[in-house]
Structure 1
Amino acid sequence: MTAPASGSAPGSAPGPAARVPAGHFDARALIDPVNPVELDAFVRAHRAANPTSVGQIIAWVFAIIALLCVVPVIGVFVMGWGYVIGGDIGVAVGGVIALLLLAGIIVGLIALVRRGIRTRTITRFRLARFAGANALTYIERIDAPPLPGMIFSNGSSRMSTDVLRGVAPRFVEFGNYQYTTSNGKQSQVHRWGYVAVKLDVPLPNIVLDALGNNALGSSMTAAFSRTQRLSLEGDFDRFFSLYCPTGYEADALYLFTPDVMARFIDHAAQLDVEIVDDWLFLYARREVSTLDPATWAWLFGAVGALLGKLDQWARWRDDRLRLAAPQPQPTPPSMAAPSPEPSGQPLPFAAPAGVLTPPPPGVAPPGRRLRRRSPWLVVGIIVGVMLIATAAPFAIGIFSFLFLR
């Protein structure tokens, strides 16, 4: 994995005309002409591995029924219009027009469906070939992916698509993700791109809200208490807003050393970042698993640059676990091993008891998740505003009656 070419903004995503840098990944499967023989073999293998489901059959049946219901209505309307214009002859002409119109609609729908299926098939084929050429595995769809990131617990109908997964030098997953939210009257589909990287040890829940992608405001950290925001040195605050659990500020400074911050600024300034449990997530507000070689060059460069700094995170330990761990019981004197007669002077290389025993890997409960804003605060503000708006006319009326009459 290599970094993107120099000359672009730090961490910026490549545009449509961006030059693809020379790298150590093979992008030919994304751009080379498709071999029809290989595509047919891929389609047959895909059909064998993914037979038509009951849900797909039901969807097609409903679509055909809907079409059969619409066809007579259009025919009657056109023939009635022909009768008004030209009587019996108009009915005949209207019938012919209705048949031609309906035939055109059916042919057009079939062509659109076939084109959509073929486009989707070619996309799957190219991504599968691209994955195979770069020591990755392609997975078309994962329903409700079991990942702990904040976007993976929102809404319903959660699924990842076009997932590319690698396991060396550590587990990395690229994918597109979507979920649906509803307020009872209308629903909205939210789409993200993500990169998931497995870490060596659990770390505190830390979120970096990229300021470069907040043109219309950010919802990434809207639910978090503002008291958890931590300002870091240098230019880091110009690119990211960092949130860490209260009491873990020193741990965040240990993890985000100046060299690590520089890597994030140079390669991921357009990506929101979350550390949760033993995972690192990079979030984009668009698809990341695409047929664009420049996008993959950018992602591989960002991940490759960060992997070189993740090893030092493996040494982090939460001292709170040392305090919470049960203290070892002293050995009874009768069971203690005999020791030589003490000289009265401590050995020059002797360490205080307990210092050489590091706390176990893990995070104490206060650091596992960022604290969210209390919903009762928002409710209280809304109720207060409503009470003020309701009581204001009465207060004005009483004031006028008492003092202005």
Structure 2
Amino acid sequence: MEIDLAAFAAERGWRYEPTAPPPMIEGAVFGALLDAVVTDHVVATGSIPFEVGNVAGQVGGTRTEQFGTVRVTMTRRTHRRSDHGYLSIRLPRALPHFVVDAHANGTSLPIPDARPQRVSLEGDFDTHFALYAPAGYERDALYLFTPDVMALLIDETGDLDVEVIGNRLTIYSPHLFDLHNSAVWDRLEQIVRLLGAKAIDQAENYSDPRAAGTDSNVAPAGRRLDQGFLSRNGVRWSLVLIVAIVVLTLVITVAGIFGSFALGM
């Protein structure tokens, strides 16, 4: 059934915006899109706060890193555009970075190959999803992705991708959500009730012993997957490559100067 989305949100005391800037959500989609625009943006309050919308942008991203006294900002831009529907649920505390990539929708997330960080789970979960976790956080993945969580993912989000990063659990569709369709809302609200409630319980009970003495309940190594260019390792290797090119250019230039000087003599 077709609905008036503005009226639908107002009846529930939610905020609706026809267009909006992208929310402050890191990760596989929002962290990998440039010039992104969100449409049909709904922010819902209640016992489980969440937001829903559609996002479209150019695949790429910007990341700034500090290397000693040098601050480096790098931007990756491609000609590819990416469109996604998303549902993001706020968690009571941060969890390590996990990506659950659904096989049913192919390779729809705009992130580089993360196969070295793949974690295998029990049962038939691996036939439905590929789970990625930061190096050293494989046991944390097994703790958080319990059999009941895996069953919920298979039953409720089998054709969607799921990401946990910071204090957010975000579900992505490789297609824009038809948020003027009541059946779409029925499914999204069921995901919030079932998977959202379970994720909140898991977050409240999770503890990372490696985070002792840090400003977060997750240690730095667990806060972000290695995502190529957009990861710390990716930036480091890009910086190394730039330095190598600069050094090589200087060597060639100096050699050319001395060569010309020798010929002149």
TM bucket normalised to smaller: 0.7 to 0.9
- Correspondences of 1:280-319 after superposition (within 5 Å): 280-310=169-199, 311-319=201-209
Structure 2: which 5+ runs fail to align? 61-77, 242-265
- State whether residues 207 and 242 of structure 1, in contact with CA within 8 Å, keep that contact through their aligned partners in structure 2: yes
Offset of residue 296 of structure 1: 1.4
Match of 1:136 among 3, 11, 14: 14
- Correspondences of 1:108-257 after superposition (within 5 Å): 126-181=4-59, 187-214=79-106, 218-220=107-109, 223-257=112-146
The structure that is strand-richer by fraction is 2
Match of 1:370 among 206, 225, 233: 225
Runs of 4+ in 1 over 3 A off after TM superposition: 186-189, 373-377
Mapped to 2, the partners of 1:165 and 1:144 lie a distance apart of: 13
Offset of residue 291 of structure 1: 1.5
Secondary structure, counterpart of 1:371 in structure 2: coil
Secondary structure, counterpart of 2:210 in structure 1: helix
Mapped to 2, the partners of 1:156 and 1:190 lie a distance apart of: 10
Mapped to 1, the partners of 2:108 and 2:176 lie a distance apart of: 18
Question: Number of matched residues?
Answer: 217
Q: Which residue of 1 aligns with 2:211?
A: 321
Secondary structure, counterpart of 1:194 in structure 2: strand
Describe the shift of the 1:262–1:155 C-alpha distance in structure 2 as closer, same or farther (beyond 3 A): closer
The structure that is helix-richer by fraction is 1
- State whether residues 205 and 276 of structure 1, in contact with CA within 8 Å, keep that contact through their aligned partners in structure 2: yes
Describe the shift of the 1:167–1:275 C-alpha distance in structure 2 as closer, same or farther (beyond 3 A): same
1:213-245 per-residue CA deviation (whole Å, 9 max, x = no partner) reads: 11xxx1527514322100000111111100001
- State whether residues 162 and 289 of structure 1, in contact with CA within 8 Å, keep that contact through their aligned partners in structure 2: no
Mapped to 1, the partners of 2:28 and 2:217 lie a distance apart of: 19
Secondary structure, counterpart of 1:291 in structure 2: coil
Percent same amino acid at aligned positions? 37
Mapped to 2, the partners of 1:181 and 1:366 lie a distance apart of: 25
Mapped to 2, the partners of 1:181 and 1:365 lie a distance apart of: 26
Offset of residue 181 of structure 1: 4.5
TM-score (norm: length of structure 2): 0.74
Offset of residue 134 of structure 1: 3.2
Letter of the 2:30 counterpart: F
Structure 1: which 5+ runs fail to align? 1-26, 32-125, 326-359, 381-405
Secondary structure, counterpart of 1:146 in structure 2: coil
Q: Which residue of 2 aligns with 1:273?
A: 162
Q: CA RMSD in A?
A: 2.7
Describe the shift of the 1:264–1:137 C-alpha distance in structure 2 as closer, same or farther (beyond 3 A): same
Letter of the 2:154 counterpart: I
1:165-212 per-residue CA deviation (whole Å, 9 max, x = no partner) reads: 112113200001011259xxx944321100111111110000000111
Letter of the 2:122 counterpart: E
- State whether residues 97 and 134 of structure 2, in contact with CA within 8 Å, keep that contact through their aligned partners in structure 1: yes
Mapped to 1, the partners of 2:91 and 2:33 lie a distance apart of: 26
1:277-331 per-residue CA deviation (whole Å, 9 max, x = no partner) reads: 1111100011225222221111111221112312232110110123x46xxxxxx
TM-score (norm: length of structure 1): 0.49
